[in-house]
Amino acid sequence: MLSDRQRLILNAIVDNYIHSAEPVGSRTISKREDIGYSSATIRNEMSDLEELGYLEQPHTSAGRVPSTKGYRFYVDNLIQPHLLNEQDLVKLKQLFAERILHAEQVVEYTAQILTQLTNYTAIVMGPEVFDHRLRNVQIVPLNETQAVAIIVTHTGRVENKLIDLPDGIGTSEIERLVNLLNHRLTDVPLWQLRQRLYQEISGEMRRHTEQYEEMLQLLDQSFHQEETDRVYLSGATKIMNQPEFRDVDKVKDILELLEQHDQLLHMLGMPANGLTVRIGQENQLDAIKQCSIITASYSLGGKPVGMVGILGPTRMEYSRVITVLNHLAEGLSRMLTSQFEK
Amino acid sequence: MLSDRQRLILNAIVDNYIHSAEPVGSRTISKREDIGYSSATIRNEMSDLEELGYLEQPHTSAGRVPSTKGYRFYVDNLIQPHLLNEQDLVKLKQLFAERILHAEQVVEYTAQILTQLTNYTAIVMGPEVFDHRLRNVQIVPLNETQAVAIIVTHTGRVENKLIDLPDGIGTSEIERLVNLLNHRLTDVPLWQLRQRLYQEISGEMRRHTEQYEEMLQLLDQSFHQEETDRVYLSGATKIMNQPEFRDVDKVKDILELLEQHDQLLHMLGMPANGLTVRIGQENQLDAIKQCSIITASYSLGGKPVGMVGILGPTRMEYSRVITVLNHLAEGLSRMLTSQFEK
DNA sequence: GTTAGCACTCATTGCGATTGAGTGCTAAAT
DNA sequence: ATTTAGCACTCAATCGCAATGAGTGCTAAC
């Protein structure tokens, strides 16, 4: 659809704008080494590219700026792979060299490294729990009326919840109950716990326990898990380094959105396989219609379980960010898989 | 030191400036109902107050603005207690009505309610772990090489850590070990755990266990707890609502500081009893020399264990914020104490 | 098809005049 | 001895206007 020359010029314009943040004029482009045309020629091509919707003009006597469509074409067709320098690679390796880490820590470090490497805001969605299976249950009484229920999954994740102890339940009874549960529910996926509890265990419990009702109530509390917040941000303030976000109101909208993790989750959706680039207007939420979001999913045993992402201005270093995200997602997948699938 | 009239006028000026955010002129003050003097008289008094350091003038032909010293005097001597309205009280009660909550959830909710009530940034620290005593230890093997160590404190807090299993340690051995620990270390303060482990348990362990060294190593890992991050923020973006923070650079400095929880901790220091007000220049960190921070400590059984705080512009509604913080700190103390000290 | 040249556009900058909120001082009033 | 009215003065903010210059679009020549 676009001639080779148009592609060349579009590429040059986007490239330039990404680094300068200023509308680029025809002369700027014609002076580039990889371009052998006069400014007049460039002007004509620019005019065409604008007509086709790839470029925009802030006002008549200004240079051109890529439109969302322009960036989209750039990302889909023109981008060339970015090579990471030694320093960056070292930082990445550092993360994966950490031997023993909880998933939460990994996620946190990952976010931090992402911001460091890109100077944009990092968003990391943490391994989803869907696939987690029960490894161990504990119920630890604190006093006569309260206890902590603890659930350990096969991935090493620990969930805990403060619960009310029904009247007149003794330590020995709890112990028996916990034993029973560990016997019968090991390897059951977390989301099935309550269901299985009613289907399979309740009968047996009734036979062994006097306070059947109370016990059941206790377990019901324990297994009623809340959706824990699995979004980590790092470098939220980085957006303020961008010249196009010198305006407090714009920044405010974005940062307020970032504070609402549920909205973020909703926006990013379930982790699908691969890389996603959302450019400017393509975003649903108004607050970030001047931003781009790039996400890459990472997986555990081939199944996507989370994503790493970057939020930056539409004028983002797409090539670099994509490379970093791919590296990171791949590394995370390897790390997770080797840690949990043996 | 200040005459009654000077106090009256200073109070009026601070009051006015807090709500208008504009330098206040003599006429504005003289028109107030509680002031019975002409603008000329006010002008003279203002001039004196400026000479004494309580007021400042942005430029010659502008009104006056309170200086740090002025706010300080206002807070120490002029402020009158703020009465909370029905709505606010309901919100506070709502929080304390929550029956079963982990300390972490309480802290999070508290921060949220604080921002809602004040429209400033809320900072909540704590509860500190120093006083937490061991209730229960568990070690749950995940596979041949890894396990999760879980520590439950008498307050219901659960710490967990992924650990390496030394070679050739069996399930039964771990079980024996855990039993021994639970027998001997219950009610020991967390910070003493490692010490006590070496002093008291190691001898006994040596007798009962073949792999003494490996076991010790394992426990050492488990009890080596990191300082967990105990700072919660809410409404960090609220500062952008303030007209004096329409400047991205100022905001950036502040938000970057808020991202560094360690700095915050250091700045706020250990929870001392009572209420602290840090006004403008009194703050050590440059980023917040245009802000005020008010903190109130809450306690468990009389001992301060954490603090609730508000960060806002120097032009803050001191009276209101102080009242809210006092209410909240008191409520939290009651809640914690009744929950854990029976 | 490409480019030189030129008229045209328009955001940005700089400058001087104007405005108005607010002060400081002095002299009159209380 | 205070208090206040009055007036000259200051200075940020605003407006209008001309100058500047980066950049375009178009046309005619190469």
Distance in Å from D19's C1' to A47's CA comes to 29
Question: Could you tell me which of B83, B82, B78 has the C-alpha nearest to residue B14?
Answer: B78
- In this structure, the answer to whether residues A121 and A236 fall within a common structural domain is yes
- In this structure, the answer to whether residues A120 and A257 fall within a common structural domain is yes
Q: Which residue is nearest to nucleotide D5 (CA to C1')?
A: B40
Distance in Å from D26's C1' to A62's CA comes to 17
- In this structure, the answer to whether residues B178 and B95 fall within a common structural domain is no
CB of B63 lies under 7 Å from some atom of strand C: yes
- Predicted local confidence at residue A82, as pLDDT: 94
CA angle B289/B291/B296 to nearest 5° reads: 115
Amino acid identity, residue A172?
Answer: S
Amino acid identity, residue B47?
Answer: S
CB contact at 8 A, A235 and A171: no
**Chain B residues with CB-CB distance to A227 below 8 A:** none
pLDDT digits (tens, 9 = 90+) for B131-172: 678 899 999 998 888 888 999 988 788 888 888 887 777 888
**Final residue of a structural domain among B181, B199, B223:** B223
Bases along strand C below 7 A from a protein CB: 2-5, 8-11, 20-26
Q: Quote the CA–CA distance of B183 and B249 in Å, as a whole number.
A: 57
C-alpha torsion A202→A208→A211→A216, nearest 10: -20
- In this structure, the answer to whether residues A113 and A254 fall within a common structural domain is yes
Is the pLDDT confidence value at A282 over 90? yes
**Chain B residues with CB-CB distance to A148 below 8 A:** 152, 156, 158
Tokens of B149: 């160590």
- Predicted local confidence at residue A225, as pLDDT: 65
C-alpha torsion B63→B68→B73→B75, nearest 10: 100
- Predicted local confidence at residue A104, as pLDDT: 76
Q: Quote the CA–CA distance of A330 and A175 in Å, as a whole number.
A: 43
Which residues form the domain of B55? Answer: 4-78
Question: Could you tell me which of B329, B337, B250 has the C-alpha nearest to residue B289?
Answer: B250
- In this structure, the answer to whether residues B151 and B282 fall within a common structural domain is no
- Predicted local confidence at residue B228, as pLDDT: 63
Tell me if A160 and B158 make a contact (CB, 8 A cut-off). Answer: yes
Query: Percentage of chain A surpassing pLDDT 90?
Result: 58
Query: Percentage of chain B surpassing pLDDT 70?
Result: 94
Considering only residues B305 and B116, tell me which one the structure prediction assigns the higher pLDDT.
B116
Is the pLDDT confidence value at B10 over 60? yes
- In this structure, the answer to whether residues B36 and B92 fall within a common structural domain is no
Q: Quote the CA–CA distance of A336 and A104 in Å, as a whole number.
A: 12
Q: Quote the CA–CA distance of A76 and B114 in Å, as a whole number.
A: 46
pLDDT digits (tens, 9 = 90+) for B178-199: 898 899 899 988 888 888 888 8
**Final residue of a structural domain among B198, B223, B248:** B223
Q: What is the CATH number of the domain that holds A315?
A: 3.30.450.40
Q: Quote the CA–CA distance of A166 and A144 in Å, as a whole number.
A: 9
Q: Measure Cα distances from A3 to A21, A45, A48, B53, B295 in Å.
A: 26, 10, 11, 71, 65
CB-closest option in B101, B146, B251 to A156: B146
Q: Quote the CA–CA distance of B108 and A95 in Å, as a whole number.
A: 29
Q: Quote the CA–CA distance of B315 and B15 in Å, as a whole number.
A: 9
A106 band by pLDDT with thresholds 50, 70 and 90: confident
- In this structure, the answer to whether residues B256 and B321 fall within a common structural domain is yes
- Predicted local confidence at residue B26, as pLDDT: 95
Phi, psi angles (nearest 5°) of residue B233: -115, 155
- Predicted local confidence at residue B340, as pLDDT: 66
Amino acid identity, residue A225?
Answer: Q
**Chain B residues with CB-CB distance to A240 below 8 A:** 248-249, 251-252, 255
Q: Which of residues 222-251 of A touch strand C (CB under 7 A)?
A: none
B210 band by pLDDT with thresholds 50, 70 and 90: low
- In this structure, the answer to whether residues A30 and A95 fall within a common structural domain is no
Nearest-Cα residue of chain B relative to residue A153: B142
- Predicted local confidence at residue B44, as pLDDT: 96
- In this structure, the answer to whether residues B284 and B147 fall within a common structural domain is no
- Predicted local confidence at residue B225, as pLDDT: 66
* Residues pairing with B134 in the sheet: B153
Q: What is the CATH number of the domain that holds A20?
A: 1.10.10.10
CB-closest option in A156, A245, A249 to B142: A156
Distance in Å from D4's C1' to B328's CA comes to 49
- Predicted local confidence at residue B40, as pLDDT: 94
Q: Which residues of B touch A (CB under 8 A)?
A: 99-102, 135-136, 138, 140, 142-143, 146, 148, 150, 152, 154-156, 158, 160-164, 235-237, 240-241, 245-249, 251-252, 255-256, 259, 339, 342
- Predicted local confidence at residue A111, as pLDDT: 96
Tokens of A162: 């403060």
Is the pLDDT confidence value at B342 over 70? no
A339 band by pLDDT with thresholds 50, 70 and 90: confident
**Chain A residues with CB-CB distance to B140 below 8 A:** 135-136, 152
CB of A4 lies under 7 Å from some atom of strand C: no
CB contact at 8 A, A103 and A155: yes
A228 band by pLDDT with thresholds 50, 70 and 90: low
- Predicted local confidence at residue B18, as pLDDT: 97
Tell me if B163 and A100 make a contact (CB, 8 A cut-off). Answer: yes
CB contact at 8 A, B313 and B244: yes
CB contact at 8 A, A328 and A301: no
- Predicted local confidence at residue A7, as pLDDT: 96
Tokens of B83: 């009465």
- Is residue A42 within a helix (H) or strand (E), and if so which, with residue range? helix A39-51
Q: Quote the CA–CA distance of A265 and A309 in Å, as a whole number.
A: 12
**Final residue of a structural domain among B179, B208, B223:** B223
Which of B140, B171, B229 is best to mutate for the A interface (most A CBs within 10 A)?
B140
pLDDT digits (tens, 9 = 90+) for B294-331: 999 999 888 888 899 999 999 999 999 999 999 999 99
Overall number of domains in chain A: 3
- In this structure, the answer to whether residues A63 and A96 fall within a common structural domain is no
Tell me if B247 and A248 make a contact (CB, 8 A cut-off). Answer: yes
CB of B80 lies under 7 Å from some atom of strand C: no
Nearest-Cα residue of chain A relative to residue B255: A237
- In this structure, the answer to whether residues A330 and A242 fall within a common structural domain is yes
**Chain A residues with CB-CB distance to B155 below 8 A:** 142
Which nucleotide has its C1' atom closest to residue A62's CA? D23
- In this structure, the answer to whether residues A121 and A146 fall within a common structural domain is no
- Predicted local confidence at residue B287, as pLDDT: 96
